[in-house]
A and B are shown apart, each in its own frame.
Chain A
């Protein structure tokens, strides 16, 4: 049916994860950081789906797990954005460098 090899999916997931990681670690804008985290989550989802099809023991569990992850990610994104808005209201900024109140 398909001629796309598993390694291509994994490479896509890897690239996506690296972009996400890079964004999450370097970007100063909190919104971008949140988006980058979503990217990393989706890279994981791709891995899960890939292995459910091409893994040593293919099974549907991987896809179900991916669906779960998407659900949880949606919930997490909503909570994260809510916190972000609350933070913005108190700090009047979305710059992540200034969100270091845990230290003091």
Chain B
């Protein structure tokens, strides 16, 4: 089965091509095309995953390009991480395809939406199968294109257009880092292949500074894709896209690509303490930074977006602390519960046609299925015991503690409190109390929308049990099997960490309960509306404004300068040449009077001149 893994990305590509060619004719049936092809991918992925449990890594490659003595190869690899990512991506993609059939119903560009979804899924699956950096980079960019198309799907909306451009440009900034890092690695090791690179790094063929430099450059690429500080601002804006897209791209798959890249190149990062520390610090900072913004946002999807940024920061923190298993584990559980939360949020938006949580309320009774599912997702992300998020978050905290970063550990703990608080703030504001605005025709979503949510809800509960301190760390052992460098399957940590994490998350829930359900605690308890702190948080620490004033203003100034040169120097030159030629032409055409006598005179004068020259020079021009 594993030797046929290359088929997995081809199914969505086929779906994309079919919908591109026949989408207009298929109309609504295009949903079935997308669903069937992603289902095929999912089945293959599951088979590959199960086969990978018992068999060693499969890898195949062929020569792609030969330039001199340079051999570039292409191929695919099924190791533990790849097999897991294949499963996650194809599962979420399949569920989102199913969900979109209900959510996007009635949209006039319905087939186009499915075509884009196919393209994105193809790129993402191709990315996780790549055995070398070059192939990764190609799919990495394709993923960016897919994301751009899907965020800007409502392209007649100004914000969506701007968000699509912002997402593309911001991630491109990171990609430049990745590209330079990739080329430097190639320069040093003469290979793009992961295995060759790891071999070179292991044998000490690459100098320490070079490893640190390339690792950090590659991490910059991951920062862009995974929305880490300071390139995080595109992710919340990307919520302008349709909600299923947010679930697929901006929760479960594409934003996880950065984490995946760091995990895939983990031996390289392990070789540099500085790079690991950078990752851990950026991750921890992003986790608390984004969580604090999430505390005050009023758009349901933006809260989830900031929570995604924050959770991705967690994963980075785990990887940076050397907790390979913890990072990948959280990547998996987060994919399930965050996709669930986004799909449930989409279901809420579908029902009430607004994204502002201030206008919602009391939906628990009206949305009998969405409500409990949203609660499951909320409990999971808050790290309430017995749900998946609890186990993975616990692993991360232990990894941070054992990695020797007590300060980062503290930051992560505070972020966990904030996460629990803002998620339950969201839950209470949406589902409890009285409706704060008039809402008509509130209805539960159709079956094809609730089915994916139910499946994800089940996974959000049970996915954590593959790797627990109580029932054994099967998942972790499997993930690092045959690769002792990646660390242990389970890191033993002090028991108080687990207790602290539980207490912190329950405390967050309790505070949210007091403030937003019982209302015994004023919402302005810590900081009033209009207060400085509140304003800063509401304006997302003015990062966008800061960029506007510095980078963008500088770029604009520079481009005005270039425009000036273009208009006055380059265009002036061109216009000068044009003017001279035109003037010559006009003078020439003025001479064409149509008067035979003038022509005769000119001819005669010419002849006379020739004769004079001839006479003066004796026939030779010297």
Contacts and interface: CB of A to CB of B under 8 A. Distances in A.
Contacts of A92: none
A21 B597 CA distance: 10
Please report whether the interface of chain B is mostly helix, strand, loop or mixed according to DSSP.
helix
A46 interface: no
Interface residues of A, number: 13
A100 B592 CA distance: 10
A103 interface: yes
A60 interface: no
A21 B604 contact: yes
A100 B594 CA distance: 5
B600 A101 contact: no
A10 to B, nearest CB: 16
23 contacts: A21-B604, A24-B597, A24-B600, A25-B597, A25-B600, A25-B601, A25-B604, A26-B597, A33-B597, A96-B595, A96-B596, A96-B597, A97-B595, A99-B596, A100-B593, A100-B594, A100-B595, A101-B594, A102-B594, A103-B592, A103-B593, A103-B594, A104-B594
Interface in B581-622: 592-597, 600-601, 604
Contacts of B592: 103
Interface in A1-58: 21, 24-26, 33
Contacts of B604: 21, 25
A97 B597 CA distance: 9
Nearest to A26: B597
Contacts of A103: 592-594
Contacts of B597: 24-26, 33, 96
A99 B598 CA distance: 12
Which are the 6 A-B pairs with shortest beta-carbon distances?
A103-B594, A100-B594, A25-B601, A25-B597, A102-B594, A25-B600
Nearest to B597: A25
A8 B343 CA distance: 115
A24 B593 CA distance: 17
A16 B390 CA distance: 119
Contacts of A24: 597, 600
B596 to A, nearest CB: 7
Nearest to A21: B604
Interface string B83-121: 000000000000000000000000000000000000000
A103 B597 CA distance: 13
A103 B568 CA distance: 38
Interface in B165-182: none
B576 to A, nearest CB: 30
Nearest to B600: A25
Contacts of B600: 24-25
Contacts of A100: 593-595
Nearest to A24: B600
Interface in B240-296: none
Nearest to B595: A100
Nearest to A103: B594
B594 to A, nearest CB: 3
Nearest to B603: A25
Interface in B523-564: none
B472 to A, nearest CB: 99
Interface string A62-104: 0000000000000000000000000000000000110111111
Interface string B313-357: 000000000000000000000000000000000000000000000
A101 B595 CA distance: 9
B598 to A, nearest CB: 9
A100 B597 CA distance: 10
Contacts of A104: 594
A26 B596 CA distance: 11
Contacts of B593: 100, 103
A99 B597 CA distance: 11
A21 B608 CA distance: 13
Interface-centre pick from A25, A26, A96, A103 (highest chain B CB count, 10 A): A25
Contacts of A102: 594
A65 B594 CA distance: 33
Contacts of A25: 597, 600-601, 604
A39 B426 CA distance: 110
A25 B596 CA distance: 8
B603 to A, nearest CB: 10
A33 B597 CA distance: 9
Contacts of B601: 25
B251 to A, nearest CB: 74
